[in-house]
Structure 1
Amino acid sequence: MDNPVQPAILPDMRTDSDILIVGGGLNGPALALALAQGGLTVTVIDALPEPTRKSDAFDGRSYALALASMRLLKAVGVWQGVAAQAQPILDIVTSDGRAGEGPAPFFLEFPNGELEEGPMGYMLEDRFLRQAMLEAIAAEPRITTLSGETVTGQAPDATGLTVTLASGKTLRGRVLVGCDGRRSGVAERAGIRRTGWDYGQTALVCAISHEKPHNGTAHQFFMPAGPLAILPLPGHRSSIVWSETHRNAATIQALDEAGYLSALRPRFGDFLGDIALEGKRFSYPLNLTLANAYVAERVALVGDAAHGVHPIAGQGLNLGLRDVGALAEVLVDSRRRGEDFGMLNVLSRYQEWRRFDTTVLAAGTDAINKLFSSDNPLLRLGRDLGMGALNVLPGLRRRFIREAAGLTGDLPRLMKGRPL
Structure 2
Amino acid sequence: MDNPTQAAICNRMTHDSDILIVGGGLNGPALALALAQAGHSVTVIDALSEKVRRNAAFDGRSYALALASVRLLSAIGIWERVAKNAQPMLEIKVSDGRAGEGAAPFFMHFDHAEIEEGPMGHMLEDRFLRRAFLEAMEETQGITHLAGETVIAQDIHPAHVSVTLASGKTLSGRFLIGSDGRASGTAERAGIQRTGWDYGQTALVCAIEHELPHKGIAHQFFMPPGPLAILPLPASMSSIVWSEKEETAAKFAELSDAGFMEVLRPRFGDFLGEIKLKGKRFTYPLGLTVANSFIADRLALIGDAAHGMHPIAGQGLNAGLRDVGALAQVLQEASHRGEDIGAPDVLARYQQWRRFDTSTLALATDLTNRLFSNDNPLLRLGRDLGMGAINAMPGLRRKFIREAAGLTGDLPALMRG
Q: TM-score, normalised by structure 2?
A: 0.98
Query: Matches of 1:5 and 1:196 in 2, distance apart?
Result: 33
Kept in 1: contact 2:2–2:344 (CA 8 A): no
- 1:401 alignment partner in structure 2: 401
Query: Matches of 1:279 and 1:368 in 2, distance apart?
Result: 30
Query: Matches of 2:77 and 2:94 in 1, distance apart?
Result: 33
CA separation of 1:404 and 1:117: change in aligned 2, threshold 3 A? same
- 2:16 alignment partner in structure 1: 16
- 1:190 alignment partner in structure 2: 190
Query: Matches of 2:226 and 2:178 in 1, distance apart?
Result: 31
Write the letter of the residue equivalent to 1:74: S
- 1:56 shift after superposition: 3.5
Query: Matches of 2:47 and 2:377 in 1, distance apart?
Result: 48
* Percent identity over paired residues: 69
- 2:390 alignment partner in structure 1: 390
Write the letter of the residue equivalent to 1:270: D
For 1:150-229, list aligned pairs within 5 A.
Answer: 150-229=150-229
Query: Matches of 2:94 and 2:412 in 1, distance apart?
Result: 29
Query: Matches of 1:86 and 1:10 in 2, distance apart?
Result: 46
Query: Matches of 2:27 and 2:162 in 1, distance apart?
Result: 22
- 1:337 shift after superposition: 1.1
Query: Matches of 2:49 and 2:91 in 1, distance apart?
Result: 39
- 1:34 alignment partner in structure 2: 34
CA separation of 1:42 and 1:264: change in aligned 2, threshold 3 A? same
Query: Matches of 2:414 and 2:294 in 1, distance apart?
Result: 20
- 1:53 shift after superposition: 1.0
Write the letter of the residue equivalent to 1:17: S
Query: Matches of 1:10 and 1:334 in 2, distance apart?
Result: 14
- 1:335 shift after superposition: 1.1
- 2:340 alignment partner in structure 1: 340
Query: Matches of 2:2 and 2:132 in 1, distance apart?
Result: 43
Moved over 2 A (4+): 4-11
- 2:330 alignment partner in structure 1: 330
Query: Matches of 1:168 and 1:128 in 2, distance apart?
Result: 32
Could you report, residue by residue, the CA deviation over 1:325-368 in whole angstroms, capped at 9, with x for unpaired residues? 00011111111111110112111110000000000000100000
- 1:80 alignment partner in structure 2: 80
- 1:6 shift after superposition: 5.9
For 1:104-183, list aligned pairs within 5 A.
Answer: 104-183=104-183
Secondary structure of 1:273's counterpart equals: coil
Could you report, residue by residue, the CA deviation over 1:79-123 in whole angstroms, capped at 9, with x for unpaired residues? 001011110000000000000000001100111110100000000
Kept in 1: contact 2:102–2:269 (CA 8 A): yes
Could you report, residue by residue, the CA deviation over 1:298-321 in whole angstroms, capped at 9, with x for unpaired residues? 110000000000000000000000
Query: Matches of 1:10 and 1:338 in 2, distance apart?
Result: 9
Tell me the number of residue pairs that the alignment of Structure 1 and Structure 2 aligns: 414
CA separation of 1:10 and 1:55: change in aligned 2, threshold 3 A? farther
Write the letter of the residue equivalent to 2:339: E
Root-mean-square deviation over aligned CA pairs:
1.0
- 1:10 shift after superposition: 3.9
Query: Matches of 2:303 and 2:339 in 1, distance apart?
Result: 25
Kept in 1: contact 2:2–2:343 (CA 8 A): no
Q: Which runs of 5+ in 2 are unaligned?
A: none
Write the letter of the residue equivalent to 2:336: R
- 1:9 shift after superposition: 2.8
- 2:374 alignment partner in structure 1: 374
Tell me whether 1:265 sits opposite 2:265 in the alignment.
yes
- 1:317 alignment partner in structure 2: 317
CA separation of 1:156 and 1:135: change in aligned 2, threshold 3 A? same
Tell me whether 1:280 sits opposite 2:280 in the alignment.
yes
Kept in 2: contact 1:10–1:341 (CA 8 A): no
Query: Matches of 1:55 and 1:348 in 2, distance apart?
Result: 39
Query: Matches of 1:174 and 1:9 in 2, distance apart?
Result: 10
Secondary structure of 1:82's counterpart equals: helix
Kept in 2: contact 1:164–1:171 (CA 8 A): yes
Query: Matches of 1:102 and 1:90 in 2, distance apart?
Result: 23
Q: Which runs of 5+ in 1 are unaligned?
A: none
Q: TM-score, normalised by structure 1?
A: 0.97
